[in-house]
Amino acid sequence: MTGPDAAGPGGPVLGIVGRSGSGKTTLITALLERFTGQGLLVSTVKHTHHAVDLDQPGKDSFRHREAGAHEVMLVGDARWALLHERRSRPAAGGPGQDELAEVLRRLAPVDLVLVEGFARTLGPRIEVVREAIASGAGKTPLWPDDPGVEAVASDVRPAGFGRSWLPLDDPGAIAGWIVQRFGLDIGRPCAMRDSNELPH
């Protein structure tokens, strides 16, 4: 999903990108606390290089998967989780934009979707740059070669930077930029607030 305004069926999509250790997760949790405190519904998508498994060997649901189930849904009193087997996916390489688009289609409608870890597969992105990390070998910022990075949240203002610069230690300022960028209406959050419908 590319272009100036990436949006999935669930809502507008914003990528939070940056080198490992830069503080992407810390920023996302701060934004989540702020936005949900204002009544907005926000979902997140996180790419991981580790094997994803919420199941346990020997459990009934694990046996369903071993027997060949395409998807297994675990349903409890407080939440449900859908396990989708990617049996035909090649072992090497991370998820591409087509896979991300498919994942986004499965999300329920919300006011905003924050995506972490898909560096170059979305439209609008904020890059998190921490000076101590960016000065390390192989840790150069992404924004000079990535026009999709519309803003940089950093503890130092880059020299010659022609895009939006956001102070990394001020989540309120970053949230304000996001609200303005996507035209989020704090007074009228997502109408699906109390819906328990599954995404189609």
Q: What's the pTM value of the predicted model, to 2 decimals?
A: 0.78
Question: How many angstroms separate the CA atoms of 156 and 191, rounded?
Answer: 39
Question: How many angstroms separate the CA atoms of 32 and 46, rounded?
Answer: 14
Task: For residues 3-26, give the mean pLDDT.
Answer: 78
**pLDDT top residue among 2 and 56:** 56
**pLDDT top residue among 154 and 59:** 154
pLDDT at 54 over 70: no
Using an 8 Å Cβ cutoff, are 17 and 9 in contact?
no
Domains, the chain, in order of start with CATH, read 1-47+95-200 (3.40.50.300), 53-93 (no CATH)
DSSP letters, 128-167, are EE-HHHHTSTT---SGGG-TTEEEEEESSPPTT--SEEEE
